[in-house]
Structure 1
Amino acid sequence: MYIKRNKAGNIEQLSRVATDECRERIDVDAPELDVFLGREDNESGARLAQSDLGLVRVIEDLVDVLIERNLISFTDLPEPAREKLMTRQTLRQRRNSVSLLSEEDEEESI
């Protein structure tokens, strides 16, 4: 890969082959090339989204523990939070029941 830099030294143009404007060779794994192509932000965003998914489950479990120990009441939560928690709980129960049904079906067919 070949690049052209602006006056500040940042990459402003990229080419697969050397051209009159893109003369400086750069390694395809160079971090500044990732920044120029936006790959750094995409990877960071994907890691952040994955982390958020794990955190959602932690928060759900935390709310369940607080309710079980009577430290909070389900009705203490704002309505949108209650709706989201109930929706996720219902979806998880459906998913688990589908898994159980398919396992039972397999056992019966043996």
Structure 2
Amino acid sequence: MVYGNDEAGDLPRLGEKVSDGCSAGSGEDAPPALEDSLLRLQQSDLEMIRVLEDLIHLLIHKGVVRITDLPGAAQVKLSERGRVREALGGLTGLINDEEQGVI
């Protein structure tokens, strides 16, 4: 898998062309077991985004880092996600009961 930021500083989405002669596959032509693994990994990525976002906010709250220590694009994205999550009531209860105490 190829990772790298595009001109805007964003990671390319799965299936986007990332360089000449190379693209990240969508998994549509993959065997079912591989496709299932790719889907699980993609879902795990979405869940990890929330974990990392909460970790960044915790580090900022504890004074370990300042939001201004982060690149401008990261500051904007964190602020926007914070506003959206707040509008949705903070999205409490994101961790399933069976996940309690895992970390």
The TM-score bracket by the shorter chain reads: 0.5 to 0.7
Alignment of 1:12-51 (within 5 A): 38-51=31-44
2:38 alignment partner AA? G
User: What are structure 2's unaligned runs of at least 5 residues?
Assistant: 1-28, 91-103
Match for residue 74 of structure 2? 81
State the one-letter code of the partner of 2:44. S
SS in 2 for 1:41: helix
Q: Deviation digits for residues 11-50 of structure 1, max 9, x if unmatched?
A: xxxxxxxxxxxxxxxxxxxxxxxxx862122211110111
Q: Which of these residues, 59, 65, 69, is aligned with residue 66 of structure 1?
A: 59
TM-score, length-normalised on structure 1? 0.50
Which amino acid counterpart does residue 45 of structure 2 have in structure 1? D
Q: Which has the larger radius of gyration?
A: 1
Percent identity between matched residues is 37
**Aligned pairs, how many?**
62
Identify if the C-alpha distance between structure 1 residues 41 and 68 changes in structure 2 by more than 3 Å, giving closer, same or farther.
same
Question: Which one has the bigger helix percentage?
Answer: 1
Partner residue, 1:21: none
Q: As a proportion of its length, which structure holds more strand?
A: 1
Higher RCO structure (Cα 8 Å, ≥6 apart): 1
Structure 2 counterpart SS, 1:71: coil
| In 2, Cα distance between equivalents of 1:38 and 1:85 | 37
RMSD value, Cα? 1.9
1:57 is aligned, of 50, 54, 67, to 50
The alignment's TM-score, normalised by the length of structure 2, stands at 0.53
